[in-house]
């Protein structure tokens, strides 16, 4: 190689090294970015896995936090923004998705706690009524932003109203992370256990 070619090669290598790495994690063919930004703050993929029912893969889910956490109490105590990202792997009616949501919420919150967040549970139920079905490939995200609340998005479009209580978001997280999670193999995956 001559000197000019060597110099070009070194410059190209330096430029490539300076580019940000866009790493991601793949679960059941769904790619989750290893980091995202929510409410102006960087979040890391805490873990990702697949929700199965009987033998069917229903959706892939990823949990994003400001820092990695491996225990449920630590996840629930995170002060910053959080996101649960769900990509549907099959079509599910909104009635079935809503029922599964309510079953998971009821199984992992006591009656007293549910009564405190009942208005938000009702509003969240209305979110499912807005969409006849979740189709394969649909992306649902449940975002918690401190000082604002929980906002649901379907394929990037807002669904429903903001729900202001952090206790509501934590109750939603316990659907997957509670003592009786909807899928016992998804819980450790979201907690980052390999």
Residue 59, both tokens: 């959706």
What is the tens place of the pLDDT at every residue in 45-57? 999 999 999 889 9
Q: Which of the 8 DSSP states describes residue 178?
A: S
Contact between 69 and 78 (Cβ < 8 Å): yes
Burial class (CB in 10 A: 0-12, 13-18, 19+), 46: buried
Q: In the CATH hierarchy, which fold is given to the domain comprising 23-190?
A: Chalcone isomerase (3.50.70)
In this prediction, residue 14 carries a pLDDT of 42
In this prediction, residue 131 carries a pLDDT of 82
Compute the distance between CA of residue 194 and CA of residue 192 in angstroms, rounded to an integer: 6
Nearest to 65 by CA among 46, 49, 48: 46
In this prediction, residue 186 carries a pLDDT of 97
What is the tens place of the pLDDT at every residue in 111-124? 999 999 999 998 88
Residue 99 CB coordination number (10 Å): 12
């Amino acid at each position: 190689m001559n000197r000019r070619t060597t110099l070009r090669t070194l410059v190209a290598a330096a430029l490539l090294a300076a580019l940000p790495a866009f790493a991601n994690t793949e679960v059941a063919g769904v790619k989750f970015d290893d980091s995202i930004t929510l409410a102006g703050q960087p979040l890391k993929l805490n873990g990702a896995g697949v929700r199965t029912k009987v033998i069917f893969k229903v959706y892939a889910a990823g949990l994003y936090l400001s820092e990695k956490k491996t225990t449920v109490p630590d996840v629930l105590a995170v002060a910053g923004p959080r996101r649960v990202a769900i990509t549907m792997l099959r079509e599910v009616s909104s009635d079935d998705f809503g029922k599964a949501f309510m079953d998971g919420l009821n199984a992992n919150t006591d009656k007293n706690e549910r009564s405190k967040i009942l208005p938000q549970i009702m509003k969240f139920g209305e979110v499912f009524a807005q969409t006849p079905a979740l189709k394969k490939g649909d992306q649902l995200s449940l975002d918690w932003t401190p000082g604002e609340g929980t906002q649901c998005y379907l394929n990037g479009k807002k669904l429903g109203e903001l729900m202001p209580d952090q206790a509501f978001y934590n109750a939603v997280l316990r659907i997957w992370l509670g003592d009786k999670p909807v899928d016992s193999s998804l819980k450790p995956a979201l907690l980052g256990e390999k």
